[in-house]
Amino acid sequence: MADFDAIVVGSGCAGPVAAHELAKAEKSVLVIERGTYAGAKNMTGGRIYSHSLREVFPDFEGTAPLERRIVREGISMITPDAGLTVGFGSSQMTQEGQASYSVLRGPFDQWLAAQAEAAGAEYICGIAVERLLVKDGRVCGVIAGEDEISAEAVLLCDGANSLLTEQAVGFARPEPSAMAVGVKQVIELAPSLIEERFLLGEGDGAAWLFVGDATKGHVGGGFLYTNRGSVSLGLVATISDLARAHVPICQMLEDLKAHPVVAPLVKGGKVVEHSGHMVPEGGFDAMPDLVGEGVLLAGDSAMMCLNLGYMVRGMDYAVAAGMHAGRSVAAALDARDTSKAGLGCYVDALAESFVLKDLRQFRRFPHFMESTTRLFDEYPRLARDVMNTLFIVDGKPVQPLRRSLMPLVKRVGIVNLLKDVRGGMKAL
């Protein structure tokens, strides 16, 4: 007889949700987290779209450690000396099922773990699962330290840099082009300053993305999210492209913090946290098999992340995948079949949900971003020069716009511009 019905490896977003659903179904479940506590090693830009969270925890807003409800979006194309920003706000962003919130992963992940424990899941923190326990080609537990712990099913939710997916489903480590590295600082500011500088009401928040000089023309971008008493400012850059950069990513972050667009927003702030993490960005075509004999994958370990340039999503996919994973394993346990075929209901559930539909819909976009480097260099400079032409007055006679703008467009190349627009539309 197995020690547990199920073992969940990792306590980010997917793991505790899966454990919660299993415990709710009266299954014995153990969560093993290698951090000293849930959230100890996790970081993110700091935003969760709440629709998937609400399906598992309908009253989450009353108890979850949310920072601010996002009511304002911003996207900036920046060069070293300028920035073109598009801002957006809408009442629909605050409606139930459509709201999103900034979060800090330390307290948020601890809250998720507490929900799983309250439902009956057991937790062990500070221990790394080094290998899977495999017998007759089937995963039947884990090996952590000197201990072997058996289970009818194992759920791998151990993050982007999973140590176990190769043994579980034969998934080799992803290519550098499918992975990014993220760095982030949490900068402490008074709530009143945040609301004044970002033109926010009390409790409201903003999300802001930066492309161009944020990563010195390399594939990636910057982000800023407002918290209650701080802002999360960071960068994400593709590892394969970053390896050729002459400026290390830590210096890129310092330069972004000093940029004319960003510096006034964080002026006087105190850095209280600095963190780094790997981020899966290969999309649908970089995903591993989601199930194996006695094992399944959810969240970042399954490469469930989507970066569209104007929007970055991962946490809502992880929460939804964790929910489906927990419910599917519970059903497989009831059917006494946790084989690959028996766990196939998990893949079916994801295929019917927004998770795989979204990732499949945008499967071409990672390649488009990687291959269209003009997005991170030439187009921000073009935007700057066009805006300078429109708004700088120096006493010289004004030229017709056609005569002043066409040389700027030709510098990029009209064919290149049309090709990139067409490629982006096809990828989206």
Q: Residue 416 is encoded by which pair of tokens? A: 């290149």
Work out whether strand 129-135 and strand 68-79 pair parallel, antiparallel, or are unpaired.
unpaired
Residues 89, 90, 92: CA angle, nearest 5 degrees: 145
Q: How many CB atoms lie within 10 A of CB 159?
A: 23
pTM above threshold 0.85: yes
pLDDT, tens digit, 9 for 90 and up, residues 21-37: 999 999 999 999 999 98
> What's the CATH code, domain 178-280?
3.30.9.90
CA 92/CA 26 separation, integer angstroms: 38
Amino acid of residue 5: D
Q: Is the pLDDT of residue 207 over 90?
A: yes
Q: Between residues 174 and 122, which one has the greater pLDDT?
A: 122
- Tell which residue, 338, 404, 314, 415, has the closest CA to residue 374: 415
Per-chain mean pLDDT for the chain: 93
pLDDT value at position 1?
84
User: Kind and range of the H or E element at 348?
Assistant: helix 344-352
Burial 229-239 (b: 16+ CB within 10 A, else e): ebbbbbbbbbb
pLDDT, tens digit, 9 for 90 and up, residues 47-91: 999 999 999 999 999 999 999 999 999 999 999 999 999 999 998
C-alpha dihedral sign at 64, 110, 14, 162: positive
Q: Which CATH number fits domain 4-66+103-174+284-361: 3.20.20.20, 3.50.50.60, 3.40.1110.10, 3.40.630.30?
A: 3.50.50.60
pLDDT tier, 43 (very low <50, low <70, confident <90, very high otherwise)? confident
